Chains A and B, each alone.
Chain A
Amino acid sequence: MAEKPKVIEKPDVLEKPDILKPPAPAPLVAYPIEVVVPEGRQQTPAVGQRASRADGRLHGLGQTKYIDDMYFPNMLFAKIKRAGIASAYIKSIDTKEAEAMPGVIAVITGRDIPCNSFGPSLKDQPVLADTRVFHSGDGVAAVAAISEQIATEALEKIKVEYQPITPVLDPLESLKLETPGIHAPSPNIYGHKIIKKGDVEKAFAESDRVFEGTFRTQMVEHVPLEPYACIAHWDPNGRVTIYSTLGRITLGRADVGRTLGIPMSRVRIVATVVGGNFGGKNEIRAEPVMALLSKKTGRPVKCVYTRAEEFTSSTTRHPLVMDYKTGVTKQGKILGRKIRLVLDGGAYCSWSETTLGKACILSAGPYNIENLYAEAFVVYTNKTMTGAMRGFGAPQVCFAYESHMDDIARALGMDPLEIRLLNAFDEGSLSPTSQKLHSVVVKESLLRAAKRFGWNGLGDDNGAGVKA
């Protein structure tokens, strides 16, 4: 005999009807309407033109619709509960009290997700953490309610029992083989790359001087002005439409199809103008969660990250520890360079493999170096997952190799511009991976910048307002 469904007694939320009211109809905003009809010969050729952006006018009028500006009838608002603990087993999640709150329509956890893992290369990232928490910003449950405030309050009512594990926070610590694997049985070192050319030890033996330096960079976040946002809703044919700030909708559609276990033809992802990406919105975040909440409630569901969640729960830039050793002649020509990079790969792989590759390839700098040994590792730590961010490792290694270059220049008594001109790529030079380079203009950019700046070699050491 079937069990009678349990009825949760809730105070009648319709006592406060105002809270369910949709916003007033959009006001008539005045703006001039001009249809641009370009004359022949006036606007061609198009390449090289300082053409105005099509969205420039909309931005200035405040008429660009970002995800958070969209409203659908009967829409619910969702918030995600964040772990707040860097490393732990999840022993239990109790959502009963949250579900019973007036105004809360649905609550889901990682268990409700058909395929709870995704990632651009290694699929080690859960949509919602189910059994383990790997960083403090991991999502453990999601609530859909009739207002954002009620959803946020409901998060407090969700009780999660954790069994803490000691977190590993230092990438150099994580590099050691005896440190327990954070994602055991996978090792902590989840990526390794070597670039080898010539014989670097022989080059050091032949060098007049050998220089060493260690450089470190920090974890930073993209801070797009628009926080991550998405809205999901289903049509009667079992097709889900997701509006999202995703920068990669083709990949997003594949990921949503996979995590929800539905064919890709039943998924539609629409991105609007995004308020800044810089790499932080390149993989799915809350889309599958919103899709499931929307399916469960039968209503559109919107989720907008808070600014805090942008920091704790979206990707960041890899901190790097970089060791450089360079052998030069006394005229300043580089004979050999040895590099070791350790990338702090955060809690999940995300875009670390691409970053590892780029950082390793770029680490030698735009210089002709015949003898090179560059080795790079990426390791797990219990910090926010590191992923794509403008540059993929290049700003970090550039900081290292250019600081190192200036140190060498000063030790040899050379002008920093001269030592670079002596070593930089030319048209047809071979890169560290022996690729023949075309359209090379490093030296031109050096000379142009120096001329424009008014470069006059080494500056005076008087401590204020000096040229560098």
Chain B
Amino acid sequence: MACMWYPIGFTVAANPSAAVVKVNEDGTATLLTGTVETGQGSLTILAQIVAQELGIATEDVHVVSADTDATPMDTGAIASRTTYVTGNAARMAAEKAKLTLFEVAAPLMGVKPTQLEAGDHKIFVKGFPQRNMHIGDVANHARVVSGQPPIGSASFNPETLALDPETGQGKPFGTYVYATQIAEVDVDDETGEVEVIRIVASHDCGTAINPMLVEGQVEGGVAMGVGFALEEEMLFDSQGRHVNPNLTNYIMPTSLDTPEIEVDIVDSYDPTGPFGAKGVGEPTLVPTAAAIANAIYDAVGVRITSLPATSEKVFKALQAKREQQPKQIGAGMSRDGAAGNSAPVQ
């Protein structure tokens, strides 16, 4: 098994993200964000955060991203920070747009803006949901009557404190995530080949904004971790030239090498994150190699101290271990093989 902790965001350095939310006249919305979708599903997560804040559905939010002309700055999809930092910025931007809607709706409903809430596509009075207006009606009124289009713009940067240069003490990150992975392996003690059969991954990501995408990240991270532990290595010759710059000789996990992966999301809530969320992109890969190395030790008693734990390395370690063990020879064995008072041969 292996457990780990991992930070969200940049080490001390400012890594802000900005976002703009515009509410359309029918209550649907558009989010502008400078982040880039690299496959992890961040745009969907951001849409869910904005939808939650405005009380509308995920499909009602359209996300425009990744254009330095049209979208606000973003430090990037890096360091597992998008859900936490860009998510906070998006939520705060949506909140500002929502407050404009409340200001417009309040006099129409005869209450103060602080008495209003948003949900189910409606702006309603807290505690009295039957007194409500459809969010589209409010948004339209805001534009054509009040002259206050609901647009919110916000930015967020995690709070950090620089590290002391002598002792390294300080507050380098806004928050951390934790996880444990346990691996079950099958080691062939004739060839040293390691097969990963099953990995149970228990990950903390704060509130899981979209459990399906969290599972996807864990499964992908574990597969990458298996490669890191057992197969992948960039090799250089004595002159520093690459030996295997291709996928034929750089061995990467295929569908046949990937184990059965069980994902468990730990209940957790981070008050500094959007709706309690933290992040999950990188942590999924961190404990896998250690879990596999520890599993190999448990299976065959050899400690591999350098990665990747190729079958050659494991085989050599097994051989070395066998040579160290004292051989016990049976005494008084007759020719037909029946042993006398012999001890078992290891």
Tell me, yes or no, whether A and B come into direct contact in the complex with CB atoms closer than 8 A: yes
Measured CB to CB, the residues of A under 8 A from B are 36, 38, 40-55, 84-87, 135-137, 167, 169, 193-197, 213-221, 223, 246-253, 267-279, 281-282, 307-312, 316, 354, 357-358, 360-362, 365-366, 374, 382-384, 388, 390-392, 394-395, 398-403, 406-407, 410, 416-417, 420, 424-425, 431-435, 437-442, 444-446, 448-450, 452-453, 455, 458-459, 461, 463-468
B228-255, CB < 8 A from A: 228-229, 232-234, 236, 238-242, 244-247, 250, 252
Say yes or no: B76 contacts A361, CB within 8 Å.
no
Chain A proximity of B115: nearest CB distance (Å): 20
Contacts of B277 in A (CB 8 A): 47
Say yes or no: A279 contacts B78, CB within 8 Å.
yes
The listed residue with most A CB atoms (<10 A of its CB), out of B163, B286, B296, is B286
Contacts of A374 in B (CB 8 A): 168
The listed residue with most A CB atoms (<10 A of its CB), out of B250, B271, B305, is B305
B11 adjacent to chain A (CB < 8 Å): yes
Can you name 13 A-B residue pairings with CB atoms under 8 Å?
Answer: A43-B51, A44-B57, A47-B275, A48-B207, A48-B208, A53-B213, A137-B242, A194-B168, A196-B166, A220-B234, A402-B287, A420-B3, A438-B271
In the A-B complex, the 6 residue pairs with the closest CB atoms: A86-B240, A468-B295, A248-B76, A43-B57, A195-B168, A402-B290
Say yes or no: B5 contacts A463, CB within 8 Å.
no
B44 adjacent to chain A (CB < 8 Å): yes
Contacts of A217 in B (CB 8 A): 228, 289, 306-307
In the complex, A369→B308 CA distance in Å? 29
Contacts of B145 in A (CB 8 A): none
In the complex, A391→B229 CA distance in Å? 14
Say yes or no: A441 contacts B239, CB within 8 Å.
no
Q: Which of B97-105, B195-203, B334-342 lies on the face that meets chain A? A: B195-203
Measured CB to CB, the residues of B under 8 A from A are 1-7, 10-13, 34, 36-39, 41, 43-44, 47-49, 51-52, 55-60, 63, 65-69, 73-79, 119-122, 163, 166-173, 175-176, 178-189, 197-198, 200-204, 206-213, 221, 224-225, 227-229, 232-234, 236, 238-242, 244-247, 250, 252, 262, 264, 266-272, 275, 277-278, 281-283, 285-291, 293-301, 303, 305-308
Say yes or no: A395 contacts B228, CB within 8 Å.
yes
Query: What total count of A-B pairs have CB within 8 Å?
Result: 420
Say yes or no: A307 contacts B224, CB within 8 Å.
no
Say yes or no: B182 contacts A468, CB within 8 Å.
yes
Chain B proximity of A430: nearest CB distance (Å): 10
Q: With A50-B212, A435-B171, A448-B266 as given contacts, are A394 and B286 in contact (CB-CB < 8 Å)?
A: yes
Chain A proximity of B274: nearest CB distance (Å): 8
In the complex, A109→B17 CA distance in Å? 36
> CB < 8 Å: which of B69, B75, B227, B278 contacts A439?
B278
Say yes or no: A439 contacts B175, CB within 8 Å.
yes
User: In this complex, what residue of A is CB-closest to B207?
Assistant: A47
